[in-house]
Amino acid sequence: MNILLLGGSGQLGREILLQTPPRVRVAAPGRDELDLAAPDAIEALIESQPFDVVINAAAYTAVDRAEEERDRAFAINAEAPRR
Ligand SMILES: NC(=O)c1ccc[n+]([C@@H]2O[C@H](COP(=O)([O-])OP(=O)(O)OC[C@H]3O[C@@H](n4cnc5c(N)ncnc54)[C@H](OP(=O)(O)O)[C@@H]3O)[C@@H](O)[C@H]2O)c1
């Protein structure tokens, strides 16, 4: 099985990586490889490899700043998962 894990460096993502059996292949691109604030890149990545499953553990979690960074919060938490 081929899994694309988004947010592999976060609390949830790190735990998922720890729990993943060795036979399962997991690609966990970091923010430097895929910035979810620029969702156009997501489709290209998903189409570049035959992933069986996409796990989205990435999120804009700076809730105190979300109202000031409204567009960024929506891009990461709404538009990116939609893509
Ligand atoms: N922690 C929990 O106990 C828990 C429980 C249930 C549900 N959840 C949900 O799981 C999700 C993640 O929570 P968390 O606690 O793991 O949060 P977190 O520790 O803040 O991790 C957020 C992850 O999202 C990535 N990310 C943020 N902005 C990004 C961007 N623009 N491009 C690419 N990656 C980006 C971060 O990458 P960087 O490392 O580069 O910042 C990090 O890997 C949230 O939706 C949360 O509600 C969490």
The CATH topology of domain 2-82 is Rossmann fold (3.40.50)
Residue 11 contacts by C-beta under 8 Å, 6 or more apart in sequence? none
User: What is the domain partition of the chain in residue ranges?
Assistant: 2-82
For residue range 21-49, list pLDDT tens digits in order. 999 999 999 999 999 999 888 988 888 88
5-24 pLDDT, tens per residue?
999 999 999 999 999 999 99
What is the DSSP track for 61-79?
--GGGTTTTHHHHHIIIII
Q: Average pLDDT of the chain?
A: 95
25-27, strands of its sheet edge to edge: 25-27, 2-6, 53-56
Q: From atom 21 of ligand 1, which residue's Cα is the shortest distance away?
A: 10
12 within ligand 1 shell (Cβ under 6 A): yes
The number of beta carbons lying within 10 Å of the beta carbon of residue 32 is 6
Residue 79 Cβ < 6 Å to ligand 1: no
Contact 7, 19 (CB under 8 A): no
Spatial separation of the C-alpha atoms in residues 20 and 51, rounded to whole Å: 15
Q: Is 31 in the pocket of ligand 1 (CB under 6 A)?
A: yes
Per-residue pLDDT band for 71 (boundaries 50, 70, 90) equals: very high
